[in-house]
């Protein structure tokens, strides 16, 4: 799925600079990093148990990064007092996914599943709490145009004698 998404992005992205940057990131991170891990675990590390430990640690770290990546929007959410930049369903399903996999890991006694997914469930819960705190906050206006639109709507409503809540912004 990710490969299809990346190919479509690289083909249809309007900005050539973004396409080149994305292609370089794909080459370095997806192909290069995988190649280094594969070569290191195949040729440099002896013993199946140690290989499993190294790959498990790498996967656990990458999983924690994946779960924590939406927290990059938290600063913007707090400063703007708006959840516009933090989609609810992403936070909800990260929490749900982490919780389900952490439960499975507890039942299976698998540390490599339990630690990153338990951490992911915790980080998802933090995102949901932040969402709950700021979901009813007034959206900070980003441009003068949105203020003009709001005043235009309220002036149009007052011309027609409509002052109900559905016309107020």
One DSSP character per residue, 122-141 reads HHHHHHHHHHHHHTTSPPPP
Q: Are residues 132 and 71 in the same domain?
A: yes
Percent of the chain with pLDDT strictly greater than 70: 81
Domain housing 15: 1-44
Looking at residues 39-58, what average pLDDT do you find? 90
Q: Are residues 137 and 57 in the same domain?
A: yes
Q: Are residues 32 and 64 in the same domain?
A: no
Task: List C-alpha distances in Å: 11 to 6, 20, 26, 32.
Answer: 9, 11, 14, 22
Looking at residues 112-129, what average pLDDT do you find? 92
Q: Hey, what are 114's tokens?
A: 């339990």
Q: For residue 112, which of 66, 65, 67, 61 has the smallest C-alpha distance?
A: 61
What's the CA gap between 137 and 85, in Å, rounded?
13
Burial class (CB in 10 A: 0-12, 13-18, 19+), 67: buried
Q: Are residues 129 and 157 in the same domain?
A: yes
Q: Are residues 68 and 140 in the same domain?
A: yes
Q: Over the stretch 53-92, which tens digit does the pLDDT of each residue have?
A: 999 899 899 999 988 888 888 888 888 888 888 888 988 9
Q: State the pTM of this model.
A: 0.65
């Amino acid at each position: 799925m990710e490969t299809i998404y990346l190919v479509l992005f690289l083909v249809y992205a309007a900005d050539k600079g973004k396409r080149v940057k994305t292609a370089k990131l794909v080459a370095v991170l997806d192909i290069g990093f995988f190649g280094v891990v594969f070569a290191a675990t195949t040729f440099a590390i002896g013993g199946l148990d140690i290989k499993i430990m190294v790959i498990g640690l790498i996967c656990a770290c990458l999983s924690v990064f994946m779960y924590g990546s939406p927290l990059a929007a938290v600063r913007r959410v707090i400063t703007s007092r708006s959840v516009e930049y933090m989609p609810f369903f992403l936070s909800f399903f990260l929490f749900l996914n982490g919780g389900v996999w952490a439960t499975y890991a507890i039942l299976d006694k698998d540390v490599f599943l339990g630690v990153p997914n338990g951490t992911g469930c915790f980080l998802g819960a933090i995102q949901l709490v932040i969402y709950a705190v700021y979901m009813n906050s007034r959206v900070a206006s980003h441009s003068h145009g949105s203020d003009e639109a709001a005043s235009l709507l309220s002036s149009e409503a007052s011309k027609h004698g409509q002052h109900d809540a559905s016309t107020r912004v």
